[in-house]
């Protein structure tokens, strides 16, 4: 799903075209299903009461975490508004069988999707970290057990500084020729709307033809990896040649591992479906598709 930032002043203000289309279709389907405003009244009442209840709980958390309120002060606020919200919700409970079930069901579905994505991401990160090594460890392997190298530049991507991309580990593990010049690119999105070139790009040389490039982007700036690497070659002394460069992209496949204390099987499948529908790195980073090699990796959660 594409995400578009719509404000330079608010990092969280976004627009998602796919979600917008989904909401339109859902609204039309809702009207066609309930047919009249009288039938929608029950659903509307329950949804408003539930929104009030959720808003009160969120306000309590914000007061504690951001506002610095004491537990006693925040709890007093919570109990005061919670009493009113629960009174309204209890009064509308009888309308649930007559249409109020719809917002309850939709809320439960959306909540399930959100918590499944969050928990699945945590489990996936744990599984990924168990299958990776640091750049220093890789450098030691290259020095003591030099693999065969092929002319050219290989560009790999990692989400965390100092970690070796799994795509690179897979090449080394299966005794495939490693590129003569290895560039590990770490992309980070900052909370600033824009970042200047001087602050945005950093190059670190490790030796043995291994380099790490850190690219920091503002949330209003689009990714353009080839353009930024060209800048690093010209102004940051990165000895790479993009004309014969190959971009190695890892493609993660999520599998349910019953030996691990993860999620229920149906939530594993739901999370795997969401992972498959994430925006591909080729489109996100503006990488030329003709120079991309995908390396698959199966991770259990």
Per residue in 144-199, pLDDT (tens digit) is 888 888 899 999 998 888 888 888 888 888 777 889 999 999 999 888 888 888 88
68: left (phi over 0), alpha (psi -120 to 50) or beta: left
The HSE-up count of residue 124 (CA atoms within 13 Å, CB side) is 19
Q: What are phi and psi of 232, to 5 degrees?
A: -65, -35
201 vs 260, higher pLDDT: 201
Angstrom distance (rounded) from CA 216 to CA 69? 34
Global pTM value: 0.78
Confidence bin at 259 (pLDDT 50/70/90) = low
What is the C-alpha end-to-end distance of the chain, expressed in Å? 23
Confidence bin at 207 (pLDDT 50/70/90) = confident
* Residue 260 pLDDT > 70: no
CB atoms within 10 A of CB 277: 9
Range with the largest mean pLDDT of 6-10, 55-59, 123-127, 203-207: 55-59
pLDDT of residue 156: 94
Let me know the angle formed at the C-alpha of 294 by 233 and 254, rounded to the nearest 5 degrees. 125
Long-range contacts at 189-195 (CB < 8 A, ≥ 24 apart): 189/217, 189/218, 189/219, 190/216, 190/217, 190/218, 190/219, 191/11, 191/219, 192/218, 192/219, 193/8, 193/9, 193/218, 193/219, 193/220, 193/221, 194/8, 194/218, 194/220, 194/221, 195/221
pLDDT tens readout for residues 33-47 = 888 887 788 888 889
Domain ranges (residues) in the chain? 4-98, 135-300
């Amino acid at each position: 799903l594409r995400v578009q930032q719509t404000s330079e002043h608010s990092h969280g203000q976004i627009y998602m075209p796919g979600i917008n289309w989904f909401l339109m279709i859902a609204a039309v389907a809702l009207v066609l299903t309930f047919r009249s405003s009288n039938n929608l009244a029950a659903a509307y009442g329950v949804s408003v009461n539930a929104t009030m209840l959720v808003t009160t709980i969120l306000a309590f958390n914000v007061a504690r975490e951001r506002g610095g309120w004491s537990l006693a002060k925040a709890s007093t606020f919570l109990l005061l508004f919670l009493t009113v919200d629960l009174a309204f919700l209890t009064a509308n409970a009888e309308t649930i069988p007559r249409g109020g079930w719809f917002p309850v069901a939709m809320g439960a579905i959306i909540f399930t999707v959100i918590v499944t994505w969050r928990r699945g991401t945590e489990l996936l990160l744990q599984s990924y970290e168990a299958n990776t090594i640091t750049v220093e460890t890789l450098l030691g392997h290259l020095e003591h057990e030099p693999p065969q190298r092929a002319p050219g530049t290989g560009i790999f991507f990692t989400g965390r500084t100092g970690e070796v991309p799994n795509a690179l580990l897979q090449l080394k593990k299966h005794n495939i020729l490693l590129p003569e010049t290895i560039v590990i690119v770490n992309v980070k999105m900052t909370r600033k709307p824009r970042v200047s070139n001087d602050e945005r790009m950093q190059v670190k040389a490790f030796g043995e033809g291994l380099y790490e490039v850190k690219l920091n982007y503002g949330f209003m700036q689009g990714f353009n990896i080839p353009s930024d690497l060209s800048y690093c070659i010209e102004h940051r002394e990165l000895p790479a040649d993009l004309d014969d460069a190959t971009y190695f992209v890892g493609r993660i496949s999520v599998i349910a591992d019953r030996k691990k204390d993860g999620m229920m099987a149906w939530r594993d499948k739901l999370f795997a479906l969401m992972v498959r529908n994430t925006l591909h790195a080729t489109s996100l980073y503006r990488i030329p598709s003709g120079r991309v090699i995908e390396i698959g990796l199966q991770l259990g959660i």
